[in-house]
C-alpha cells in the first residue's frame, strides 16, 4: 500500500503563500517529520543608474566606432 502524504498540496500552497507574503519561515511537524517552507527571494541584481547606463552605452558605442 502507498503511504499517505504527511502534508497535502493545498496545505503546502497555503504555507508558501503565507511565507512569501509575510517574509517568514512556516514550519509544521507531523508524525515526527518537520516541513519548513521559506519565502522565495530572487537574487538581488543592482540596477545601473541612468547616468552609469548612459556612460556604459557611450563606451560601447565608442569602442565599436573607432
Structure pTM? Answer: 0.57
Residue 43 pLDDT: 66
Q: Where are the beta strands (DSSP E) in the chain?
A: 26-30, 33-37
What distance in Å separates the CA atoms of residue 61 and residue 64, rounded to the nearest whole number? Answer: 5
pLDDT one-digit tens code per residue, 21-66: 998 999 999 989 999 999 987 767 777 788 888 898 999 999 998 7
Residue 12 pLDDT: 95
What distance in Å separates the CA atoms of residue 44 and residue 31, rounded to the nearest whole number? Answer: 37
β-bridge mates for residue 34, sequence order: 29
Cα angle for residues 29, 22, 31 (degrees, 5° grid): 5
Amino acid at each position: 500500500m502507498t503511504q499517505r502524504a504527511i502534508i497535502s498540496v493545498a496545505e503546502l500552497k497555503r504555507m508558501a503563500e503565507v511565507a512569501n507574503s509575510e517574509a517568514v519561515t512556516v514550519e509544521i511537524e507531523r508524525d515526527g517529520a518537520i516541513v519548513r517552507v521559506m519565502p522565495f527571494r530572487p537574487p538581488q541584481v543592482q540596477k545601473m543608474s541612468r547616468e552609469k547606463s548612459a556612460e556604459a552605452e557611450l563606451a560601447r558605442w565608442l569602442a565599436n566606432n573607432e
